[in-house]
């Protein structure tokens, strides 16, 4: 598992009339955490894009537990609990205030694409190499796909497909 923390001080312009961080700003906080985590690993978004590979967001989820407010010093924790697989990588996030209270949780599912076509491409080998030391052999097995050589039981067809 890979983990990276950054700190962000909430600016007045990021708050709404109630004094809470406006919900739309959390996607930007997640992006800052991703960019800085990659930078710490020696992975440059700028170089990735120069090589013709982009990473658009395929899915964004945010769960708000408590509000963040103006001038709070937030810790944005990025977690990679599983290695990138195929063309995608799942980033998870936790945001804490200075009292270490969990304020927000979320994730983004990023898809590697060729910038000229927008079509998915395999994760660049350089990124896989940078992340490999953070995962054990067990982590490298897909949680969805069966292990190679596994004997799968016959499953009944879903009711909707039965005659």
- List pLDDT tens digits, range 40-70: 999 999 999 999 999 999 999 999 999 999 9
Sequence-ordered list of residues with C-beta below 8 angstroms from that of 103, at least 6 positions apart, any chain = 64, 65, 66, 67, 68, 74, 95, 96, 97
Tally Cβ neighbours within 10 Å of residue 116: 8
- The token pair that represents 108 in the structure block: 């983004």
Chain length of the chain: 163
- List pLDDT tens digits, range 89-128: 999 999 999 999 999 999 999 999 999 999 999 999 999 9
- List pLDDT tens digits, range 63-95: 999 999 999 999 999 999 999 999 999 999 999
Selected catalytic residue, list 16, 71, 72, 139:
16
User: pTM of this prediction?
Assistant: 0.82
Please tell me which residue, 110 or 157, carries the higher pLDDT value. Answer: 110
pLDDT at 151: 54
Q: What 3 state SS string does 116-156 have?
A: CCCCECCCCHHHHHHHHHHCCHHHHCCCCCCCCCCCCCCCC
Strand order across the beta sheet in which 57-64 lies: 2-9, 73-80, 88-96, 102-111, 57-64
Query: Cα(41)–Cα(82) distance, rounded to whole angstroms?
Result: 16
Helix (H) or strand (E) holding 46: helix 45-50
Structure confidence at residue 25 as a pLDDT band (50, 70, 90): very high
Query: Cα(62)–Cα(59) distance, rounded to whole angstroms?
Result: 10
Give percent of the chain above pLDDT 90. 83
Residue 22 reports pLDDT greater than 90: yes
Structure confidence at residue 137 as a pLDDT band (50, 70, 90): confident
Q: Is 16 a catalytic residue?
A: yes
Structure confidence at residue 144 as a pLDDT band (50, 70, 90): very low
Residue 158 reports pLDDT greater than 80: no
């Amino acid at each position: 598992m890979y983990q990276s923390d950054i700190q962000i001080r909430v600016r007045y312009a990021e708050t709404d009339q109630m004094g809470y961080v406006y919900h739309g700003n959390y996607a930007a906080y997640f992006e800052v955490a991703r960019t800085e985590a990659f930078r710490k690993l020696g992975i440059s978004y700028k170089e990735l894009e120069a090589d013709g590979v982009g990473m658009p967001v395929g899915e964004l989820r945010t769960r708000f537990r408590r509000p963040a407010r103006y001038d709070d010093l937030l810790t944005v924790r990025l977690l990679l609990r599983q290695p990138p697989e195929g063309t995608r990588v799942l980033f998870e996030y936790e945001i804490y205030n200075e009292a270490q209270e969990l304020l927000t949780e979320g994730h983004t599912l990023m898809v590697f694409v060729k910038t000229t076509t927008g079509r998915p491409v395999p994760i660049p080998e350089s990124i896989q190499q940078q992340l490999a030391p953070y995962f054990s052999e067990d982590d490298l097995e897909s949680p969805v796909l069966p292990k190679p050589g596994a004997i799968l039981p016959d499953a009944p067809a879903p009711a909707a497909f039965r005659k």
